[in-house]
Amino acid sequence: MQVSFHGHSVVRVKTDKHTILIDPFISGNDICDLDADTVETDVILLTHGHDDHVGDTEQIAKRNNAFIVAPNELAVYLGEKGFSAHGMNIGGSHDFDFGNVKYTQAFHSSSYTSEGGNVVYTGMPAGILLTIDGKTIYHVGDTGLFSDLKLIGEMNDIDIAFVPIGDNFTMGPDDALVAADWINAKTVVPVHYNTFPVIEQDPDAFVSKVKTGKGLAMKAGDSVEL
């Protein structure tokens, strides 16, 4: 399968049968190389409800008739708007036709600002363990450092992990290096940086310090094969 990075926290997974988009924040994301009007997918996975993660979900899902998996309150919100959405919660896993999804905890916040300006509570923020054909992708989501990342690394054979390094809203590079050690993934990719001035970081400096696994600074559009 092909796993690609598209700026901020946008990750795409392509298998022989499915295309999966995680946190498709495309419009307003100057780093992203995708076009919300043309990108194709049949599955969207969401870590939490913030605008820079839900992004273009509604537009993309409507045009592609895509299936959405999200934390339960966010899934209910999207379901009430007519989308096909499956709600999950922390610690739960489910087998879908595209693979197995398990939600992990993340220490952050989660809400969505609707078109009318109302703030909607969208449940607990989360990370996502996505396992397809024996390969496991860990999208850590937006989070600070927490010790259960070590347990997650011990319990799962993680092939590639997408770890936030931006600081201010999530863990910064120093904490992310500790997280990388604990997660114990074969490949560690920094995400959630340089989209806004307050989260500017040097991804090359980060990956040069990764000790556990291979650090890989992916530019928007870069991909790896698993």
Tell which residue, 54, 14, 56, 18, has the closest CA to residue 38: 56
Q: What pLDDT score does 142 carry?
A: 98
pTM to 2 decimals? Answer: 0.97
Tell which residue, 107, 214, 122, has the closest CA to residue 164: 107
Asked whether residue 123 is assigned to any structural domain, the reply reads: yes
Asked whether residue 111 is assigned to any structural domain, the reply reads: yes
Asked whether residue 115 carries a pLDDT value surpassing 90, the answer given is no
Joined tokens for residue 181: 């050690």
Going by pLDDT thresholds of 50, 70 and 90, the confidence category of residue 114 is: confident
Asked whether residue 224 is assigned to any structural domain, the reply reads: no
Asked whether residue 225 is assigned to any structural domain, the reply reads: no
Asked whether residue 138 carries a pLDDT value surpassing 90, the answer given is yes
Q: What pLDDT score does 84 carry?
A: 98
Asked whether residue 203 is assigned to any structural domain, the reply reads: yes
Asked whether residue 62 is assigned to any structural domain, the reply reads: yes
CATH of the domain at 101: 3.60.15.10
Q: What pLDDT score does 188 carry?
A: 98
Asked whether residue 24 carries a pLDDT value surpassing 90, the answer given is yes
Joined tokens for residue 193: 């940086």
The total of structural domains in the chain comes to: 1
Mean pLDDT for the stretch of residues 34-57? 98
Residue-wise pLDDT for 158-215, tens only, equals 999 999 999 999 999 999 999 999 999 999 999 999 999 999 999 999 999 999 999 9
Query: Is residue 179 packed enough to be buried (19+ CB in 10 Å), middle (13-18) or exposed (0-12)?
Result: buried
Q: What pLDDT score does 184 carry?
A: 98
Q: What is the extent of the structural domain holding 119?
A: 2-216
